[in-house]
Structure 1
């Protein structure tokens, strides 16, 4: 992989957690599912939040890249939450972190679990840490932010309205991958957390597994391809032209971590580090 930055590090600490706790007390967050489903797909990533030192710069970048629009919640001068919309649907949020202590951004994934208390207890038992204690937000659900035993940050969520039904559309979330420092340990951990089955994909140049539930492919797992980077969940965004997107991202100040390459998924994928340092992937997907 032609990674241009081999020493990427994400910065998220208890100071960030304090910021999140303060903001949660003042802001009515949007529901996970805009149209209540009352159905749950446990193990599915159902929400994404971008933690970034510069929300304004981030919003400009993603608006230019994908046409995303935003609604800002909270009063100016206090901690604000910027809801991300794609084609009028809320798909995530953006929150500011301290740029002095946290110079890089990160996308945080929220995973659906049947019982947040049990999920947090399981994580603690297996050696993970609770970064943001369990809280319930009216209309949104119960959640907690943790660091798993391999160091990846993940939010456990049980939505009040059920999990959203995902429709494949451009400029929206397509996929999620766990890049882990310990592949075997992560496979065991997540299969104990939610009713995943981990199925190995044959014919890959590096070991790659799919987390599945009820026959549905929910996310991928692979050994972390970036040297000196801790474990992390990386979101994918669906696009129609990965080369054009990569070129545009560079003009907007992003770093191309993995350039489109015919030998990697038939030239359909690129990995990008946004101007504030948050990695994400883009991929063409026609199925």
Structure 2
């Protein structure tokens, strides 16, 4: 178990068309981009102003058959130890710890219910967190689990997350907020039966939810739900990009 609560420190889109995805998110979220020159792989860094916030890459050959998807990296002081801890707690290891030269060390894992995420020990200090709701940054992390109570127990034991407010969603059940170091960073709930498998969903901050939602459909993405208001006054939209990766937007309504 880490000495301090672990937070998400990086996000990555694995997609079937890197160039198309790059252009889509630049238009919809307002990111700018630059190519990463750290290797032979075509890897694009997405940036909010000068801050690097996410990467885009092609689905690797070893994951052939995978649908395009966004994945989050959780900080680990020791990736090898954290990976083994996930395994012992009933999770699955898809890729054993490996080094990215001059960047850090990572592994690909899943929680016991099957939701995939990464573990990451970066080299260097990293960037300071942005203020809440800063456009272009990731504002929320949402887990749709087979059973949110046991999912929470797993993440609490592995990453020192604690419970925040619990929101009664009526027939949809409880939406449990979770905190890392006293700040709510996301929520989790038991998924509806029609959703086939658990997954993490990441919310990108935008300044105007209606304008951003319109940009999704104008650029061949699809709106799955929203815009709808959530507790606290923000508005959200859940979407898929043209390649089929699920993502969400959060912002205010002008």
Deviation at 1:200, TM superposition (A): 3.9
1:3 maps to which residue?
A: none
In the alignment, is the contact (CA less than 8 A) between 1:212 and 1:219 conserved in 2? yes
1:173 maps to which residue?
A: 138
- Secondary structure of the 1:92 match is strand
1:149 to 106, 112, 115: 112
Question: TM-score, with normalisation over the residues of structure 1?
Answer: 0.77
2:205 maps to which residue?
A: 238
Mark the runs of 5 or more structure 2 residues left unpaired by the alignment: none
In the alignment, is the contact (CA less than 8 A) between 1:196 and 1:211 conserved in 2? yes
Greater share of residues in strand: 2
Mark the runs of 5 or more structure 1 residues left unpaired by the alignment: 1-39
Deviation at 1:49, TM superposition (A): 0.4
Deviation at 1:230, TM superposition (A): 1.4
Question: TM-score, with normalisation over the residues of structure 2?
Answer: 0.86
Name which of structure 1's ranges 91-100 and 63-72 shifts more when overlaid on structure 2.
91-100
In the alignment, the residues of structure 2 paired with residue 54 and residue 229 of structure 1 have an alpha-carbon distance, to the nearest angstrom, of 25
Across the aligned residues of Structure 1 and Structure 2, the Cα RMSD in angstroms comes to 2.7
2:226 maps to which residue?
A: 259
Higher relative contact order at CA 8 Å, sep ≥6: structure 1 or structure 2? 1
Deviation at 1:60, TM superposition (A): 1.1
Label 1:262 to 1:199 Cα distance change in 2 as closer, same or farther (>3 A).
closer
Q: What whole-Å deviation, never above 9, does each CA across 1:18-39 have from its counterpart, x for those lacking one?
A: xxxxxxxxxxxxxxxxxxxxxx
Aligned length: 246
Deviation at 1:226, TM superposition (A): 7.1
Deviation at 1:265, TM superposition (A): 6.7
Does 2:60 correspond to 1:95?
no
Name which of structure 1's ranges 261-270 and 88-97 shifts more when overlaid on structure 2.
261-270
- Secondary structure of the 1:165 match is coil
1:216 to 162, 183, 189: 183
Name which of structure 1's ranges 132-141 and 266-275 shifts more when overlaid on structure 2.
132-141
2:26 maps to which residue?
A: 63
Does 2:48 correspond to 1:83?
no
Deviation at 1:283, TM superposition (A): 0.9
